[in-house]
């Protein structure tokens, strides 16, 4: 079953439940700050596991003490879909356990 792009209204509504997330350059995006490089690396590994479980992958960037995600759905023409928000919700749920903010 094809994944449908979300309308701007649907995106805005869902963003209300995900503090810190935004849409930039057509992608659902968030940068997390962590206490150390090791903590950021551990969070990247955890996110990679979730992405494999969902079979939906973001551009995931590791900085010294930051982790940045940017995601859209290729099969929906590069639009933001519910799949992107599902990944964002999962990441938002695991972030506090890594000390991310």
Please give the C-alpha separations between residue 88 and each of 4, 36, 55, in angstroms, as whole numbers. 17, 22, 13
Considering only residues 27 and 2, tell me which one the structure prediction assigns the higher pLDDT: 27
- Count the neighbouring beta carbons within 10 Å of the beta carbon of residue 58: 22
Q: What is the pTM of this model?
A: 0.97
Mean confidence (pLDDT) of the chain = 97
Between CA 46 and CA 21, with CA 85 as vertex, the angle to 5 degrees is 80
Read off the pLDDT of residues 29-75 as tens digits, 9 standing for 90 and up. 999 999 999 999 999 999 999 999 999 999 999 999 999 999 999 99
């Amino acid at each position: 079953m094809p994944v449908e792009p979300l309308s701007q209204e649907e995106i805005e509504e869902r963003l209300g439940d995900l503090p810190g997330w935004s849409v930039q350059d057509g992608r659902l995006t968030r940068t997390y700050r962590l206490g150390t490089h090791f903590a950021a690396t551990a969070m990247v590994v955890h996110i990679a596991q979730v992405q494999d479980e969902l079979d939906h992958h973001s551009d995931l960037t590791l900085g010294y003490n930051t982790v940045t995600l940017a995601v859209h759905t290729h099969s929906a023409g590069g639009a933001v879909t519910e799949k992107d928000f599902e990944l964002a919700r999962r990441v938002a749920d695991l972030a506090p356990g890594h000390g991310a903010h």
